[in-house]
Amino acid sequence: MTIKSREIGVGVLGYGMMGIAHSHGYQAVSMLYKAPVVPKLVAICGRTEDKVLQAANRLGYKRFYRDWGALIKDPEVEVVDNTLPPNYHYEPSIEAIENGKHIICEKPLARSYEEALEMYRAAERSGVVHATAFNYRWLPAVIKAKKMIEEGYIGKPMQFHGTYLQDYALDPSDPLTWRFRREEAGYGALGDLGSHILDLARFLMGETKRVCAISRTFTQERPLPSESTDKGKVDVDDISVALLDFENGAVGCIETSWSCSGRKNSLCFEVHGSEGAISFDLERLNELHVYDHEENSDNRGFKRIIVSGDVHPYYSFCWPLGELLGTGDLYTIEIAAFLESASKNRHFVPSFYDGLMSCAIMDSIVKSAQNGKWVEVRHQ
């Protein structure tokens, strides 16, 4: 029937954790949404033949590739989804763009502002639909926060505090994976976690004029992943804390660490304005806490809204009834929104521009932490 005509071919780079999560997202879009476009799982790409074959079978792809260039050139692939580590963002993404494929790329978009800028310019030139996979923008609670701020709920923004804290790198005996090497990851905790909270800061508060930061690498050497007992140098940050001077006049601060005892998945923000405040904690992702300073002073308080059910933005999209979302559901929402844009050739947000600006701030934070000064944030 007409279903055929609305299909869009998808090729995914990577069958790791993120490759699986995205693949499930494509599948769930078809099932849970009344989506205007239905993804067709064309191909998946990975380095190791037996693993990528298994993944293709299990996840329901028609075929697999070991060479990302081949996947990109596959004529049935209309959308390339890049879930590879940052050192594989630049080249494959540009290749995809130049082959006219719509592209969604994991965060951080690149290892530096310069890489990201080229990627962004290529995408803009070619006219494909491009997305950075800042999945937390798709939290219904975050979408609600954004809407409330836009509608003036908090009045003039004055103060922002954001964190993304985890503890997975606290153990110094954990091996030196790509995450701990600038060459591959670009940034450390700042890129893996901080990029998310910086993106939410931009989403909610707008652009940052300048930053001042302090960073530490608590574990300076880690065992090489090989069988030897040798150690290698960690050349990225374990923790970064940065002051933010926003263009809207507000003052802010973000903290990010992957060596933060006690915090499993602590993506939090709070914004305070002249007329109200909003706070959020990913560990309780179905809740938004809002404070209306315009209420009578004896009735003010933070109100805990459970952002659930079809009264809340994008929620009905996901589960047929007002269930409580998990973080896994975000991939589905993100992909549904992206596929809709891609199928209509419509600009998508967050785009590569948002990925680029995130790199711009991160580069400024790295520089500030090195030279001990406030550093302006570049604007494209």
Phi, psi of 171 (to 5 degrees): -80, 115
Task: State the Cα–Cα distance between residues 368 and 363, nearest whole angstrom.
Answer: 9
Unique residue bearing structure tokens 């990109």? 72
Residue with token string 């260039």: 69
Closest CA to 159 of 204, 199, 190, 193: 204
Both tokens of 124, joined, read: 């803009």
Least distance (Å) between residue 347 CB and a copy of itself: 27
Tell me whether residue 95 or residue 194 sits nearer to a copy of itself (CB atom).
194
Which tokens belong to 64?
């697999």
Question: CA 198, CA 358: separation in Å to the nearest integer?
Answer: 6
Q: Which is nearer to a copy of itself, 98 or 287 (CB)?
A: 287
The sign of the CA dihedral 368, 257, 208, 244 is negative
Beta-carbon contacts of 296 under 8 Å, excluding residues fewer than 6 positions away, are none
Pair 80, 92: CB distance under 8 Å: yes
Smaller CB separation from a copy of itself, 155 or 232: 155
Our CB check for a copy of itself shows the closer of 286 and 351 to be 286
- Pick between residue 308 and residue 358 the one whose CB is nearest to a copy of itself: 308
Output 101 or 272, the one with its CB closest to a copy of itself: 272
Give the other-Cβ count within 10 Å of 345's Cβ. 10
List the one residue out of 207, 148, 178 whose CA is nearest residue 84: 178
CB atoms within 10 A of CB 120: 26
Residue 279 or residue 343: which is nearer to a copy of itself going by CB? 279
